[in-house]
Chain A
Amino acid sequence: MSDLRFMTIAEARAALERRDVSAVELTRLHLDAIAAEDARLNAFVRVTAEDALASARAADRAIAAGDRRPLLGIPVSVKDLIDQTGVVTTAGAPAEGLSPARDDAEVVRRLRAAGAVLLGKTTLHELAFGATSENPHYGPVRNPVDGSRIAGGSSGGAAAAVAAGLSYASIGTDSGGSIRIPAALCGVAGHKPTFGLVARHGVLPLAWSLDHVGPLARTAADCAVVLAAIAGAEPNDHATLPITGLAPLGDLPAPLRVGVVRDPSPWLEPDVGRRFAEATTLLRDLGATLVDVELDQLGDGLACVAIVLRVEAAAVHRERLATQPGRIGGDVRARLRAGQLLPATAYLDALRVRRRLVREVDALLERVDVLALPTTPIVAPLIGRTFEPVVPGGPNPRALLTSLTSLFNATGLPAISVPCGVDGAGLPVGLQLVGRRWEDSVVLAVAAAFEAALGRRAVD
């Protein structure tokens, strides 16, 4: 039965259609797995079993009536800064004094409308403000591949849940890499959509101009199915635009031109570099024309996002910081404090640089269809060691984890991380593919073709 938990969404839907399994059975299977395995992983803050089973029963009735919605009866989860009616949204902070959410977030409403079954809320880095998910209030999320290592963050519980077969898909958020980083470290797919494609109403903000909501799942195709269900304009989120005609999974461009980012980081671990080189070879074997590109904007993108994130987050969490600073973990509190103390000119300068970054990366994407680079320069570090430099005098893992992802939050471009192999210790390595604005379906199609080719190579 455990194989059922590791099917793709399309396979699970087919199994439901054939009546090989019911939505209630599938849901109970996941709930039992969470009960058995999550004490070790800490992927869930809260399991909503009653809500899930009620939805599953309704899904079984709908299936019997011929309903074919793409997520009907599919167990999924959401990061615990996304509102789900009747459940406290902790955002990874202490829950005392918080009231249950009165409404579903827009993304939850759309998941329900597509027939999904909501299993519960996943653990995150406190306030989604960090890339490790070492949470001082709820404990660290453990990487399913190696429990002594972080799952990455801030959507660490989401990635761990998918990787461990506790959820077919999970909704995360990404303000500097928080979907793609845990996806890479846990060996699953995670897609940060184009800024404005998925509504954020009912999602606790971290930084208004950087926050993206998107799916993590086992494959790029699964991400596409979920994205199709949750995308679209919403009047309560002014950043969303009424984009129509987006195919969930587009066709591969012909010819396909892939911009391979050369020397993306001086801190690239050798095995990460090797897996990335192999991934580009595989893309070439798929028929892609590889074009070497320099992406000097990565450093400025990181610096820009670091400042914008802190200043906007300090504004979002001003009251929390003023009234209960002692209840905020030290790393997050220091970032929020910096946001309060930075001069306004630093924020405006960052926005001016950001404007240029958008222009420059857009221009680069006129020469190629997608950019390819590693998602992170390192594999999952050990829990409790993320402040220690990777080499004496060098940066620590916390600083490195967002170094290759932040630029695409600054530019708002669609970016996915898909697994591209493992290092010598079996730890996952992620390939990041970045596309043009609103061309999420192209990014997803290239990622899906890459996954298929990687799967064929593994079989060979």
Chain B
Amino acid sequence: MTADELRRLAAALGIDLLDDEIDADLVELEAMLENARRLRERLTAEDEPGLRPDMP
């Protein structure tokens, strides 16, 4: 993702990014998307949603 693509995505969601912080925002978002990819690869059809750690 480029800074410009990030800016367009944010704008579509009604979010104004600060110009001088956009690189930091991009690094952070890409790291989280990498985490999301890692977790997605772990999932199987048997994995159910769960909302609280105390739910059985």
- Point out residues on A near B: beta carbons under 8 Å: 194-196, 209, 239, 241, 299-300, 303-304, 306-307, 310, 322, 325-326, 330, 333-335, 337-338, 340-343, 346, 348-356, 358, 409-413, 437
Given A342-B36, A349-B36, A349-B43: A412 and B15 interface contact (C-beta under 8 Å): no
- A338 and B28: CB pair below 8 A? yes
CB distance from B16 to the nearest CB of A (A): 8
Contact of A195 among B16, B40, B53 (CB under 8 A): B53
Q: Which residues of B contact A322 (CB under 8 A)?
A: 15
CB distance from A365 to the nearest CB of B (A): 13
Q: Which residues of B contact A195 (CB under 8 A)?
A: 52-54
Contact of A334 among B9, B24, B39, B43 (CB under 8 A): B24
CB distance from B47 to the nearest CB of A (A): 4
- B27 and A303: CB pair below 8 A? no
Q: Which residues of B contact A410 (CB under 8 A)?
A: 53
Q: Which residues of B contact A306 (CB under 8 A)?
A: 31-32, 35
- Point out residues on B near A: beta carbons under 8 Å: 6, 9-10, 13, 15-18, 21, 24-25, 27-29, 31-33, 35-36, 38-40, 42-43, 47-55
- A352 and B27: CB pair below 8 A? no
Contact of B42 among A194, A241, A300, A341 (CB under 8 A): A300
Closest to B16 in A: A325
CB distance from B17 to the nearest CB of A (A): 7
Closest to A358 in B: B53
CB distance from B54 to the nearest CB of A (A): 5
- A353 and B43: CB pair below 8 A? yes
Q: Please report the C-alpha to C-alpha distance between residue A353 and residue B49 in the assembled complex, in whole angstroms.
A: 8
- B49 and A346: CB pair below 8 A? no
- A351 and B29: CB pair below 8 A? no
Given A300-B39, A338-B25, A353-B39: A209 and B51 interface contact (C-beta under 8 Å): yes
- A337 and B15: CB pair below 8 A? yes
CB distance from A336 to the nearest CB of B (A): 9
Q: Which residues of B contact A349 (CB under 8 A)?
A: 36, 39-40, 43
Q: Which residues of A contact B35 (CB under 8 A)?
A: 303, 306-307
Q: Which residues of A contact B49 (CB under 8 A)?
A: 348, 351-352, 355
Q: Please report the C-alpha to C-alpha distance between residue A325 and residue B25 in the assembled complex, in whole angstroms.
A: 13
Closest to A331 in B: B24
A sample of 30 inter-chain contacts (CB < 8 A) reads A195-B53, A239-B52, A241-B54, A300-B39, A300-B42, A303-B35, A303-B36, A306-B31, A306-B35, A307-B39, A322-B15, A333-B25, A334-B27, A337-B10, A338-B25, A341-B9, A341-B15, A341-B29, A343-B36, A348-B49, A349-B39, A349-B40, A349-B43, A352-B48, A353-B39, A353-B42, A354-B50, A358-B53, A412-B52, A412-B54
